[in-house]
Structure 1
Amino acid sequence: MLAAEISKAQEDTEAGDDFSARIGSAVAVAAKFADAVDEGARFPREAFDELKAQRLLGILLPKRFGGEDRNVAEAAQVCYALGRVCSSSAMIYAMHAANVACVMIHAGNSEKFPYYLRRIGEEQMLIASSTTEGKNGANVRSSASAIIASDGGVSLDRDASVVSYGASADAIVTTARRSPDSLPSDQVLALFFKEDYTLERTSKWNVMGMRGTCSEGFHLLAKGELEQVLPEAYDKIHRRSMVPVTHLLWAACWAGVAAGAVERAQNFTRKISRAQKGALPPGAPFATQASLALMQLINLVDSSIADYLGRAEEPDTLDEISFQTSLNLLKVSASEIAISTVMHAFNACGIAGYRSDGEFSVSRPLRDILSSSVMINNNRILSNVASSCLIGGVPDSIVKPR
């Protein structure tokens, strides 16, 4: 969990596990190139070359597939650590890990999927996703394009309006209608490797923040084997894996961005206090508020991860309305708290935070964190879960019986 990151690092060292050191190596590279990634709105190639070299892209996979049998809490540690120095690297890692989890958990008994998973793990593939199509906005539970099955193979022609880091990925998972005769909501998830598809760019990515995610639009043409379509309905994949893992890792990423901003605010406050022989600067109260908000955010993410890991042992409990509602509200709450945290840090640093250069600049973290409320718009989520909240009611007590 995020709050236990330091003690976990100590335990790893005592146990001879180099997990934390490997994360640190990737973070150092990400930090070195973060400004260049932001300025050029380019994929953080150097950071992901190091993540691959440290074999951190397949940690969720079982060891027999070239992975490490690690869980979502450990993937969240990577997101949090990267987020402190390079928001784009953290967000890409979060989306990649969620895609790996979907393929791994829902591969079923397909004879070919062990081979696909082994390729992903052994080659440390970076997996992108296409769940947004045409003009349907963020309605990921509806697909226009359909899987076409013929002669033992499948094909897909899709207006993939947003594919983050698609041009740099080694494979793509994409939603689609099950068949040309299926309803838009009758969806499947298909896995295509780079040699299976072509991408023709249809839109560019020129935005305020998260510039390195390169969330461009493409015309996706893919052909593959029938086995590359996951056997389980996307409805179940969406409820049990895509939403839980995505929202948890996004929240960990945003917590990391907020932590990086808070660290700058604390350092600025210390520097001014020393220069003024112990007198605190005017922005000191904002630094305190930033620290408190960060603790609240980390506790929220920790408790949500713990809830997910407990339920993952009994997958049917992942379908409960209360859990699905909590996941959607986690996305809203984590993004709002993260934005508030970074704003407090910005105000603590004052003009030094407003500058785009200097060690106390909060410009990049602020621009990046503002994306959190519009990545699946918070208002859309709140509207969608309104009925669930009414059904759920209000708890009778804040203390659970033992």
Structure 2
Amino acid sequence: MTVQRTALRNPTSDDGDSLLLDRSSLFVQRTSVVAAQAAAEADEVDREGRFPTAAIDAAREHKLLGMQIPVEFGGFGASVHDVADVCYALGRACASSAMIFAMHQTKVACLVRHGRGNAYMESLMRRIASEQLLMASSTTEGQNGGNIRASAAAVGHEGDHITLKRDATVISYGAEADGLVTIARRADGAAASDQVLLALTTDDYTIARTQGWETLGMRGTCSTGFALEVSCPSDRMFSESYDRIHGQTMTPFAHLCWSSAWAGIAAAAVERTQRFLRKAARSAGGQMPPAASHYTAAKMALARLRAMIVTNMDAFAAHEYDERALSSLDFQSSITLLKVQASELAVETVMHAMRACGLSGYRNDGEFSISRHLRDVLSAPIMINNDRILTNIATANLMSAVPASLYE
């Protein structure tokens, strides 16, 4: 993966002075410690279907939850490359920890990119940096099946106060979070697609559990269902409409961070396969097992996956604040298709890894088990349905011309 180096000022240096720090020294070392903690509890988190407390506590301790917050608000001003690299490292250690981190950072990105000028939003950014608040994601509602561009519940307006009642069928790690970001219709009578985004802390809402989370994989995200009731000041609502936030920030960050987490899962499976084949070859006098060709396929698939993510990430970073470029059909199609292509390729990579390991990979026990990795990565094409995404893209692209040249 391309290494992006960013000169950052450290607001927490021991001597109180702002020091220019290299990205590698600032994030890589911290990430390795957090990833080690995540890996140590990954099997237990999966087996018990519990929140990865130790991993997230380690991320707090090493200030990674607020890494993206601008320096002026107490954070490190981390780039999307920095955040995605942490998602990748955590994906190699514990898929649930990686996905929690990815969802949190996507919500933080909305604050960073669209919250300036709002005293509450800026205060919340400072709190995330100083207190390392964990922000949950609440986008799925009722029976909409993950269609986050249409809301049923509407914001109620009473002067400078707002209310909201929402059937939040999924709030990932909602019971463990310090706040959440959610969407709703702008007001009673507004169209389902006329949406606003709200950034809340636990003082602003109550949740009552309505569904459990007994799933095949990603068990530690604890994405249970809740009845969400909000009562808070109106400054919790972003002034920009959600359609702009969705296209410019929510979708790019979500798809880049999710894909990086999935790539991390795939990399962990490939690494286990490599260790299995090395051990098997030593035991057989250098002769490779019959299914070893699947390891080559897995390595190639992982290389394509990583390259795809980096290409899209570089394209986003190059035009990160260019509204026209981010709104273009080419960019929106590419960043949306990233989710589809990366999710399918991650599954393909892990399947090749398991086939290379054979029964040793298929088992739930043993040092070469790839069971957890496969179950976790199978969530990738399902959590936001790939078929819906492809249908929506097909509709949007019907009027666009088909290139007549390789270089258009």
Normalised-by-shorter TM-score class: over 0.9
What SS does the aligned partner of 2:318 have?
helix
Q: Is the 8 A contact 2:5 2:23 kept in 1?
A: no
CA deviation after TM superposition for structure 1 residue 4, in Å: 3.1
Question: Which residue pairs with 2:38 in the alignment?
Answer: 30
Question: Which residue pairs with 1:199 in the alignment?
Answer: 207
Question: Which residue pairs with 1:68 in the alignment?
Answer: 76
1:230 to 234, 238, 241: 238
AA aligned to 1:240 is Q
Counterpart Cα distance in 2 of 1:127 and 1:376: 20
Question: Which residue pairs with 2:160 in the alignment?
Answer: 152
Question: Which residue pairs with 2:328 in the alignment?
Answer: 320
Question: Which residue pairs with 2:254 in the alignment?
Answer: 246
Matched, 1:133 2:133: no
Assess, with a 3 A threshold, how the Cα gap between structure 1 residues 16 and 198 changes in structure 2: closer, same or farther: closer
Question: Which residue pairs with 1:4 in the alignment?
Answer: 2
Q: CA RMSD in A?
A: 1.8
Counterpart Cα distance in 1 of 2:219 and 2:141: 21
Q: Is the 8 A contact 1:254 1:338 kept in 2?
A: yes
Q: String of CA shifts for 1:71-125, please: whole Å, max 9, x gaps.
A: 1111000000000110000011111100000122111422332212111221111
AA aligned to 2:263 is A
Counterpart Cα distance in 2 of 1:256 and 1:391: 37
Deviates more, 1:46-55 or 1:309-318: 309-318
CA deviation after TM superposition for structure 1 residue 388, in Å: 3.1
Assess, with a 3 A threshold, how the Cα gap between structure 1 residues 14 and 207 changes in structure 2: closer, same or farther: closer
What SS does the aligned partner of 2:25 have?
coil
What SS does the aligned partner of 1:385 have?
helix
Q: Is the 8 A contact 1:338 1:369 kept in 2?
A: yes
Aligned counterparts, 1:3-402, within 5 A: 3-4=1-2, 17-398=25-406
What SS does the aligned partner of 1:207 have?
coil
Assess, with a 3 A threshold, how the Cα gap between structure 1 residues 50 and 281 changes in structure 2: closer, same or farther: same
TM-score (ref. length: structure 1): 0.95
Q: Is the 8 A contact 1:283 1:347 kept in 2?
A: yes
Q: String of CA shifts for 1:282-328, please: whole Å, max 9, x gaps.
A: 12100110000000000000000001101113122100111111111
Counterpart Cα distance in 2 of 1:299 and 1:394: 24
Q: Is the 8 A contact 1:65 1:122 kept in 2?
A: no
CA deviation after TM superposition for structure 1 residue 65, in Å: 1.5
CA deviation after TM superposition for structure 1 residue 212, in Å: 0.5
Counterpart Cα distance in 2 of 1:300 and 1:372: 16
Deviates more, 1:384-393 or 1:87-96: 384-393
Counterpart Cα distance in 1 of 2:349 and 2:79: 27
What SS does the aligned partner of 2:145 have?
coil
CA deviation after TM superposition for structure 1 residue 394, in Å: 3.7
AA aligned to 1:198 is T
Counterpart Cα distance in 2 of 1:348 and 1:231: 52
Q: Is the 8 A contact 1:322 1:388 kept in 2?
A: no
CA deviation after TM superposition for structure 1 residue 151, in Å: 4.0
Unaligned runs of 5+ in 1: none
Counterpart Cα distance in 1 of 2:56 and 2:129: 15
CA deviation after TM superposition for structure 1 residue 130, in Å: 1.1
Assess, with a 3 A threshold, how the Cα gap between structure 1 residues 83 and 15 changes in structure 2: closer, same or farther: closer
Assess, with a 3 A threshold, how the Cα gap between structure 1 residues 393 and 344 changes in structure 2: closer, same or farther: farther
Counterpart Cα distance in 1 of 2:403 and 2:362: 43
What SS does the aligned partner of 2:378 have?
helix
What SS does the aligned partner of 2:399 have?
helix
Runs of 4+ with deviation above 4 angstroms: 12-16, 396-400
Counterpart Cα distance in 2 of 1:21 and 1:111: 33
AA aligned to 1:84 is R
Deviates more, 1:98-107 or 1:25-34: 98-107
Counterpart Cα distance in 1 of 2:151 and 2:260: 29
Q: Is the 8 A contact 2:116 2:122 kept in 1?
A: no
Assess, with a 3 A threshold, how the Cα gap between structure 1 residues 236 and 134 changes in structure 2: closer, same or farther: same
Counterpart Cα distance in 1 of 2:50 and 2:24: 36
AA aligned to 2:267 is A
What SS does the aligned partner of 1:167 have?
coil
Counterpart Cα distance in 1 of 2:24 and 2:391: 48
Counterpart Cα distance in 1 of 2:71 and 2:57: 21
Counterpart Cα distance in 1 of 2:31 and 2:52: 16
AA aligned to 1:271 is K
Q: String of CA shifts for 1:179-217, please: whole Å, max 9, x gaps.
A: 123222111001110122111000000010000011111
Unaligned runs of 5+ in 2: 7-19
Counterpart Cα distance in 2 of 1:126 and 1:182: 31
